[in-house]
Amino acid sequence: MNVAASARGRLALWLFFGLLVVFLYAPIVILIVFSFNDRSFVSFPWQGFTLRWYRTFLSNSALLVALRTSGMIAISTAIVTVALAIPASVLLVRRRFFGKPVVSAVMLSPLVIPLVVFGIALLILFNTLGVPLSPATVAVGHIVIALPFAALTLIPRLERIPVWLEEASRDLGATALTAFRSITLPLLMPAIISSLLISFVISFDEVVIASFVAGDEPTFPLYLFSQLRLPRRLPQVIAVAVVVMLLSGVLVIASEVGRRLSDRRFDRELRAPETLDEQLGEVMA
């Protein structure tokens, strides 16, 4: 007998599951479909297939500039975030030191701070220091909120890499840095790539912090926000939204799948599971 649910219960649960998937995906599908509707409102009736909204946005220079600004911010955010997250994660996984719980709490606290609060705190900081607002100040904020996500991607992978690999290389005469660079870093690479992608997507999508510290060069989400007041611009905004949504979706899903596959392969190669429990754990993970 299946303890979790009766046959009818399972049917009901699967039905619910299906409905929820429809609920989650219907708005996205509707957005995509209507981005091809040849009508100046994003609504019924359907007046034929067109690519004109995609052409319009490709010739809208303000929009393209905003996309480029956001792209630059997101790339810098991704690189700096991961560059900071790697040493921090190594420290948290490999070293014992005084105040470690405090350090990891600080590391994770940007996850729970309301973004509005953090946005104004940054605004006050930059005002106090007299730093003019620019895309760079936006990147500073995005790095803070992306850091915990990057660290949480790196740490589990780092825990899987046994310390003795690095120790063996040290015994064979490598310096700490060489050992890290030639052993740990390559093994960490899948997690590094996914944390780069995740940081990029977080930054590219972020609007609240940007609304406080962007100055007069709008990021893509800010531009999008300002255009919502103009119904005439809506169809092209929708077209660009579709492109961005699909691209970011593909990026993140590819990195998630890649990371899981490589984690699994890595576990198989490195560690012959000793007990049944561990084998089960492996299958689950």
Partner 1 sequence: MGYLVLFFLVPVILAACYSVGLLTLLPNDDYLSVQPWRDFLFGSVYLGVFWRSVEMALIVSVGSVLLAYPIAYVLALVAGRRKYTLLLIIIAPFLTSYLLRVLALRVILQQQGVVNSFLRTIHVLAADESIPWLFNSRFAVYLVLIYVWVPFVALPIFVALENLDGALLEASSDLGAGRWRTFLTVTLPLSTPGVIGAFIFVFIPTIGEYVTPLLVGGPDNFMFGNAIQGAFLAGFDWQFGAAMSMFLVFAVGLLIAVFGRYLNVRAVAE
Q: Which of residues 43-62 bind partner 1 (CB under 8 A)?
A: 43-45
The distance of closest approach from Cβ of residue 181 to partner 1 in the complex, given in angstroms and rounded to an integer, is 21
The phi-psi region of residue 43 (left if phi > 0; otherwise alpha if psi is between -120 and 50; otherwise beta) is beta
Count CB-CB contacts under 10 A for residue 207: 15
Round to whole Å and give the CA distance between 235 and 227: 11
**Maximal CA-CA distance, the chain:** 73
Q: Which is nearer to partner 1, 169 or 203 (CB)?
A: 203
- By rule CB under 8 A, what count of residues binds partner 1? 87
Q: Which long-range contacts (CB under 8 A, 24 or more apart) does 205-211 make?
A: 205/248, 206/115, 206/141, 206/142, 206/145, 208/115, 208/116, 208/119, 209/115, 209/118, 209/119, 209/122, 209/138, 209/141, 209/142, 209/145, 210/138, 210/141, 211/119
Distances (CA, A) of 131 to 107, 122, 123, 126, 217: 25, 11, 10, 5, 15
x-or-dash pattern for partner 1, window 108-137, by CB under 8 A?
xxxxxxxxxxx-xxxxxx-xx---------
The distance of closest approach from Cβ of residue 121 to partner 1 in the complex, given in angstroms and rounded to an integer, is 4
The distance of closest approach from Cβ of residue 125 to partner 1 in the complex, given in angstroms and rounded to an integer, is 4
Using CB under 8 A, pick the residue from 74, 140, 161, 187 that binds partner 1. 140
* Span interacting with partner 1, options 47-55, 58-66, 249-257, 266-274, rule CB under 8 A: 249-257
Using CB under 8 A, pick the residue from 47, 253, 270, 279 that binds partner 1. 253
Using CB under 8 A, pick the residue from 72, 103, 136, 165 that binds partner 1. 103
Binders of partner 1 among 203-222, rule CB under 8 A?
204-205, 207-208, 211-212, 221
The distance of closest approach from Cβ of residue 200 to partner 1 in the complex, given in angstroms and rounded to an integer, is 12
The distance of closest approach from Cβ of residue 62 to partner 1 in the complex, given in angstroms and rounded to an integer, is 18
